[in-house]
């Protein structure tokens, strides 16, 4: 496939019934998708595996590095089936939530949280269906039954999600279903695993130890969608590999008017710590049905780009919408235009704190400074661990960032990171030869031309494969 897309901000598209066939997946990649999200809240392992194999096939056939992310359901609470699919509500009605499955009606409704009656307190609010229904806890028997008053809401429909922003939910971050899904995910080479409803850094540690026990190299995305995660945001960013601003649940778990500032705060902190950050949910929501986005959606996507997000995500738009490919084309156009804003670049150009890697980081930081000073065409990095790619990207250079590695899986992982363009390379002779060689490859594929200034980072001596310790400027002859 022609690599014509040099945009910095990446597009992550959720796969569902509208897109889980080979030709649509390929159409989405051609339209600008950089990574796919498989949502384990829906679908079977067989269906997910089929999509996974299609994406692997596309990567092979078209020499792309499309990243694959598995999104675990986590402790998402839901009501059970309701008689006839839904029941009408009116203000002041009293509903009874029970913890044993039953067909819901005015008598009782199943809610999938065993300890609800123990953990909830009178006076706490319960939100159903993304906050479209608001309930107030009036009474709990402390074992299996809770009475709630309807504050507002027209209908309660089957299997709608329940949020308890004021309740200390005692469920673990990895449910039994998540553990079964994780088993499947770790048997395959998923690049990223997103953990829903993260509350503390321990949630991430737990997932990390399970990933390591299976010798998988999958990286972790912490989904920020609980008030507790906001309280622990610095510790969570320190320990995770990446972050998602999961605006769907977050928007009902915290007062909705806080969303814009929280998005900006989280994106800013992630860039400073060189952790990729995804902005998710309802970015192009109206395109689930319509062929064009609303003005507000156009501006939302552009603002996420200007905030500095690594990735913008599509959910229902590509999973179950009528125009999956059109949505990506529109999003791609919005990104392209927003990236003309000069204020996006170099805004974070300050060296990171002194850490174990501060010597290699000095190379990454200065590669961006020099690239800016000499108006270079690109920054080229060779990586094994991905460190150089994450660090160079975090300084948000205007130059292209070309990353070479012999590790195809790592390249696919890095494809989710702001500005990174990946190339497979497995010849290691000497540093001088390798620099010449990768420059020739980029020139041959039309990425560089005579007179272009190039910044190379690397490690000398090459055969020791140590951390990045070298920076070189050259001009393409
Ligand atoms: N693999 C799938 N199989 C079937 N339907 C899917 C699949 N993935 C997504 N969907 C549908 O697309 C919708 C939007 O997808 P998305 O992944 O954003 O779900 P979500 O907002 O996380 O949903 P939920 O809150 O139900 O987990 C879902 O509500 C679902 O109806
Ligand atoms: C993506 C997701 O989980 C949310 O927005 O809540
Ligand atoms: K999910
Ligand atoms: Mg969510």
Q: What is the pLDDT of residues 316-364, one digit of tens each?
A: 999 999 999 999 999 999 999 999 999 999 998 988 777 788 899 999 9
pLDDT at 3: 46
- Inform me whether the pLDDT recorded for 1 exceeds 80: no
Distance 217 CA to ligand 1 centre (A): 26
User: Could you tell me if the CB of 132 is within 6 A of ligand 1?
Assistant: no
* Cα dihedral value 325, 326, 327, 329, nearest 10: 90
Cα-based angle 146, 74, 237 (whole degrees, multiple of 5): 120
User: What's the average model confidence in pLDDT over 3-24?
Assistant: 90
> What is the pTM for the complete model shown?
0.95
CB half-sphere exposure, 36, CA atoms < 13 A: 33
User: Could you tell me if the CB of 19 is within 6 A of ligand 1?
Assistant: no
Task: Give me the DSSP letters along 386-439.
Answer: SHHHHHHHHT--SSEEEEEES-HHHHHHHTTSTTEEEEE----S-HHHHHHHHH
Categorize the per-residue pLDDT at 298 as very low, low, confident or very high, splitting at 50, 70 and 90: very high
- Inform me whether the pLDDT recorded for 215 exceeds 70: yes
Substitution candidate for ligand 2 out of 71, 246, 250 with most atoms within 8 A of CB: 246
Q: What is the pLDDT of residues 39-56, one digit of tens each?
A: 999 999 999 999 999 999
DSSP letter at 36? E
Hey, which residues are catalytic here? 37, 78, 223, 281
For CA atoms 129, 135, 137, 141, the dihedral sign is negative
Distance 319 CA to ligand 1 centre (A): 7
Q: What is the pLDDT of residues 170-189, one digit of tens each?
A: 899 999 999 999 999 999 99
User: What's the average model confidence in pLDDT over 191-219?
Assistant: 98
Query: How long, in residues, is the chain?
Result: 477
pLDDT at 427: 84
Distance 88 CA to ligand 1 centre (A): 24
| Atom nearest to 159 CA in ligand 1 | 26
| Atom nearest to 246 CA in ligand 2 | 5
CA separation for the pair 334, 293 (Å, rounded): 11
Which ligand is nearest to the Cα of residue 161, counting in written order?
A: 1
- Inform me whether the pLDDT recorded for 260 exceeds 60: yes
């Amino acid at each position: 496939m022609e690599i014509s897309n040099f945009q910095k901000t990446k597009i992550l598209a959720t796969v569902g019934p509208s897109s889980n066939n080979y030709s649509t997946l390929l159409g989405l990649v051609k339209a600008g998708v950089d990574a796919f999200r498989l949502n384990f809240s829906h679908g079977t392992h067989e269906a997910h595996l089929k999509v996974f194999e299609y994406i692997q096939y596309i990567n092979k056939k078209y020499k792309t590095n499309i990243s694959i992310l598995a999104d675990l359901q986590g402790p998402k609470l839901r009501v059970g089936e309701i008689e006839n699919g839904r029941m009408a509500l009116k203000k002041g009605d009293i509903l009874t939530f029970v913890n044993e499955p039953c067909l819901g009606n005015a008598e009782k409704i199943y809610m999938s949280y065993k300890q609800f009656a123990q953990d909830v307190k009178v006076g706490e609010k319960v939100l159903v269906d993304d906050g479209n229904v608001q309930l107030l806890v009036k009474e709990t028997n402390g074992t299996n039954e809770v009475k709630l008053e309807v504050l507002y809401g027209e209908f309660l429909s089957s299997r709608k999600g329940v949020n308890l922003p004021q309740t200390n939910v005692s469920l673990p971050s990895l449910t039994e279903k998540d553990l079964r899904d994780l088993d499947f995910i770790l048997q395959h080479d998923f690049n990223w695993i997103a953990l829903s409803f993260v509350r503390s850094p321990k949630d991430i540690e737990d997932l990390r130890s399970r990933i390591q026990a299976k010798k998988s190299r999958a990286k972790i995305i912490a989904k920020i969608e609980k008030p507790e995660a906001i309280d622990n945001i610095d510790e969570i960013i320190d320990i995770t590999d990446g972050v998602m601003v999961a605006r769907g649940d977050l928007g009902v778990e915290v007062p909705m008017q806080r969303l814009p500032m929280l998005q900006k705060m989280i994106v800013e902190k992630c860039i400073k710590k060189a952790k990729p950050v995804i902005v998710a949910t309802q970015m192009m929501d109206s395109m689930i049905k319509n062929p064009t986005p609303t003005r507000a959606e156009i501006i939302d996507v552009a603002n996420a780009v200007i905030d500095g997000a690594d990735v913008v995500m599509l959910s229902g738009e590509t999973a179950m919408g009528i125009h999956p490919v059109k949505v990506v084309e529109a999003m791609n156009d919005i990104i392209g235009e927003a990236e003309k804003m000069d204020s996006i670049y170099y805004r974070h150009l300050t060296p990171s704190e002194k850490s174990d890697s501060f010597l290699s980081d000095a190379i990454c930081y200065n590669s961006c400074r020099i690239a800016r000073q000499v108006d270079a065409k690109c920054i080229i990095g060779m990586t094994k661990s991905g460190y150089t790619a994450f660090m160079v990207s975090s300084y948000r250079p205007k130059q292209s960032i070309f990353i070479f590695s012999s590790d195809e899986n790592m390249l696919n992982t890095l494809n989710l990171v702001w500005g990174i363009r990946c190339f497979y390379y497995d010849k290691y002779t000497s540093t001088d030869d390798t620099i010449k060689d990768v420059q020739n490859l980029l020139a041959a594929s039309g990425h560089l031309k005579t007179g272009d200034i190039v910044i190379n980072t690397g490690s000398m001596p090459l055969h020791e494969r140590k951390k990045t310790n070298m920076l070189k400027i050259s001009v393409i002859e």
